Structure 1
Amino acid sequence: MDVYYFYSYGTAAWLATQAVPLIASPTMIVALLSPEVREASALEIYFSRVLGFSLITIGILNVLLTGSVPLSSRLSEASGVSTSAEDPKAPYALPTMTITSAFHATYSFYMYTMWTTSGSYAFGLGLLGSGFLSIVALWCILFASSNGRISRKTGADKRTSGFPFKNSEAASEKKKAKKGI
């Protein structure tokens, strides 16, 4: 499984995991968060469920906009995913991944501040989940967003330079190519 797919489906699963308790039992969430045991108000139930539905919507949009689920009807277009800018299957893949990465980074920072002030292990778990997804997204943005410039002759990446060390293998391949060997 590609890391790109892992991030996309992992984000959707993480957001759905957080959304299910908010939708299913907002009264329990309010009882856990408030210092005194009481019934949840209609406004608290409304905001809890809206937040849960919003998290599910963000997860689904992430999967759709990153190109993990092909949105074309032809099978030839639906094979494989690419994050290049010229790819019509996923034109919003990199911006979507950048925005969700910022979301996870902000979320993990908030969880860290809550964990250090309250010491609750639930915030620590949220920190680990969102922090991990933020790191995976950053890796995908930096390294999985382009196909690279691989030379057909040498098999080396063309974007590398010889500074400060000389690439003698590439130089020998260039000499062979000039000679026609």
Structure 2
Amino acid sequence: MDVYNAYNLGTAGWLATQAVPLLLTPRVIISLLSEEMKTATDLETYFCRCLSFSLLALAFMSLLLTGFIPINEFPEGETATTTPYAVPTLFGTMTYHIATAIYLYVRWNSGGTASIALGAVASGVLSVMGVWCLLFATDKGHISKRTGADKRTSGWPFKNEIADQKKGGKKGL
């Protein structure tokens, strides 16, 4: 499994981890979050369950649109990172994780608990993985069919003697 698919699976897993308690036990979560003991209203329960369904839908759509769950076979030469919606979905989920990590860090810094810090770390790790995937995993590179080396590299400041020998060029000094 490459890092791109690991990011997609991690995103879906983290969103589902947040969604399941909201769906199954909204009254317990509301009573834990309130300052004083009170019962949850129907409106609060409704909002918890709607947020849960939204998180589950985002998790499923991120897996579906990035090609982790294939709808049909990929054409020749196409992979999960080259599907039409892969990069926009990656950008959207990465932006979500960055915003969540910043919010949770600010919340934890102003007197939060360990669970808020755990959420900030998890969202921070996923946002860093998303940035890495956006920078490096969405490009095929310029790989030479003859030598298998990346064509974007240069020989400065160090000479690549092995690549020069494969090209039939002269040996380094």
Aligned-partner SS, 1:118: coil
State the one-letter code of the partner of 1:106: A
CA–CA separation in structure 1 for the residues paired with 2:104 and 2:85: 28
In structure 2, the partner of 1:104 is 97
Q: CA deviation at 1:19?
A: 0.6
Inter-CA distance 56–82: structure 2 relative to 1 (3 Å threshold): closer
1:126-155 deviations in Å (ceiling 9; x for gaps)? 011111111111111111112211113332
Q: CA deviation at 1:49?
A: 0.8
1:95-117 deviations in Å (ceiling 9; x for gaps)? 10011011001101111011111
CA–CA separation in structure 2 for the residues paired with 1:99 and 1:131: 15
Number of residue pairs matched? 170
In structure 2, the partner of 1:122 is 115
Identity %: 47
Gaps of at least 5 residues in structure 2 are: none
Over aligned residue pairs, what C-alpha RMSD do you find? 2.2
Inter-CA distance 44–76: structure 2 relative to 1 (3 Å threshold): closer
In structure 1, the partner of 2:86 is 93
User: In 2, are the aligned partners of 1:105 and 1:134 still within 8 Å (CA)?
Assistant: yes
CA–CA separation in structure 1 for the residues paired with 2:8 and 2:32: 30
State the one-letter code of the partner of 2:8: S
CA–CA separation in structure 2 for the residues paired with 1:151 and 1:99: 32
State the one-letter code of the partner of 1:37: M
CA–CA separation in structure 1 for the residues paired with 2:152 and 2:14: 36
> Does structure 1 residue 153 correspond to structure 2 residue 151?
no
